[in-house]
Chains A and B, each alone.
Chain A
Amino acid sequence: MHSFTVRIGPVGFRVGSAWPRPVAALEAIYAGYPGPRDGIADFTVRLEPERPWRRFVRPSVAIRGDFILPDAVPMALRHGFLAAEMGMNLQMALGQRRFLLLHASAVERDGRVLLMTGESGAGKSTLAALLGERGWRLMGDEFALVDPVSGLIHAFPRAVSLKNAAIAMLRAEASEDRFGPELDGTPKGTLRHLRPRADAVARMDEPAAPALLLFPRYGHDRAIRPMGEAEIFVRLTQASTNYVALGEAGHAALARLVKTVPTRAIDYPDSAAALAIVDMLWAEQAR
């Protein structure tokens, strides 16, 4: 078993792989990240041949670990690094119990956090990555961790997963050595991963208070819409993978977020328009 360990924000991971390649890719993209606290991983991911002989013959990577989806489809070995990333996300989605998990990106400025959530394709990841290159601290492009006790957002700055057109957009902003290999023909099209800036990694243990929540939607005319508390609450329960599992603590954390953080739904035709809306709302609304 080839082994890799890393700490991303408050969460330690151990990834074991039957092949060396996925581990080499992880080591490259997570260069500069610390190891798990006290050398103890919160979660274990295993990349194994789907059947013993598939280690060598048409290698096929099954994603296993502490928490698994029984009907997950195995992946080609050239996508092994992606399998590791999916495996780590899966452990968070199914196993995380310390924080309320929101499927949202998070960026910070002046000690306050902008959260963006929405369905896949809404652009939360791309917008967070762009903001992360333009003066904001990237706290995460996939999961925002809400501390049920303090209400603060904890950073989870894993490698940003860029899809299709977003790859070229970020290559214009970030140096080549921060990018992972190009993965084509994945279920989501072409993917490349981007390591967050060194300061975002160095400051990943600094939580911060949420100040503005946006529900972006890409591919529509520019529009800004206020949302009622009930709608926000329901959409955030849908955006959380562990709201039910946390019980009362999860409910209280989510209710506090909805009651205290200004929220808008925004539609945008292109990222320049989205960034302009963010600037405007941040100046007006963030408190």
Chain B
Amino acid sequence: MKILPIISREYRMIVKKKSFLISTLLTPALMAGFIFLPMLFSRMARAEKTICVVDYSGTIAAPLITDSRVNAPELNLIDLPPREVGAEFSMDTYRESLLNKEVDGILHIPGGVRALRKASYYARNISDFETNRYLQETVRAIITRMVLEEQKIDPEVVRDATRNIELETFKVKQEGISRSSSGLDYAMSIFMLTILFTIIMGYGQLIMRGVLEEKNSRVVEILISSTRAVTVFTGKIIGIGLAGLTQVALWILIGAGFILQSSIPVSRGVRSFLTPTLALWFVVFFLVGYFMYAILFSIVGASVNTDQEAQQFAAPISYLLIIPFILGIMVTQSPDSLPVVIASFIPLFTPTLMFMRISVSMPPAGQVWIALFLSMATIWLLAWLGAKIFRTGLLMYGKKPSLREITRWARYR
């Protein structure tokens, strides 16, 4: 069984590397960071701010400051009445204190604010959307109240009339109905899809570089003079695939540990989403996607001579993965629309798209099995072609092959 040393070498080459451990821990953290952090960030990172309110109307500053003590305690609003009533507002007066960081912002409320519906906010940082939104909303509310009071309308009546409604979301699955926030589900689906995409791509490229390295260091000559090219090819793909599977298994363990930790607030929502069934599907589609793309990438690695050439050939393959990934992100809106259903049957798209459909709402089982069957057939076909191209390509040194030559290699004995 000469395939065993090849499998074991490939496996250990990856798993023993420090980068394996780092990427195992870091990838989920980074992905989670990209997807969940922006949601949390805007709420958490609100530093204290001192803002002077220059109120020419004389009606806004006082209620604004009162409101801020309750609703925006991190804002320290100071009433700074205009020096001379009736004079034009000029920023020159305040520029120094802003630039010296004595204050963080100047809110100018013009005399005719009620009619104009306009105020100006001067600050060194105007990208703090939370503060901008608070100032805008609160000034608007104060004016609304003033208008209502003038018209002798009870503000409570208006509030009651314009009250928002809450839309509760429930997810209906085989296992039953669970209450979950659609935002979290959406984020989780994309999170899983991103990880799937990243590892299929990552391990595919890994195999490509490995093959290219063996080709360039001429190790292949010893390999092929010791065993069959098919054995080398299969051993490589299985070995690296096992390394990928190990990583996925570690992620599932980490994920399980995280979910069972009920003290973390989001874990309940994640638990209802990330069921063991979904984890199993994740493994299945990782394997399907891995085999499909690993074969393609290993053919590239065997056919070319330099990293640059490899990148050129790898780019179209990457697009094949990126297209369904982007489609997949859009699927969450309408997982059962006809174009999506059709696309999820295209073998090269199945691993990402069908998994995405499953994660959003389980499609009919028949569709899943048909897609899997088509993918398996494709893998079988690719492996058959790949082994032949691999054998010939490995020993072709020198010039960059054309696509036509590569297809000709597939016909060699």
A and B are interacting partners: no
Q: A residues engaging B (CB < 8 A)? A: none
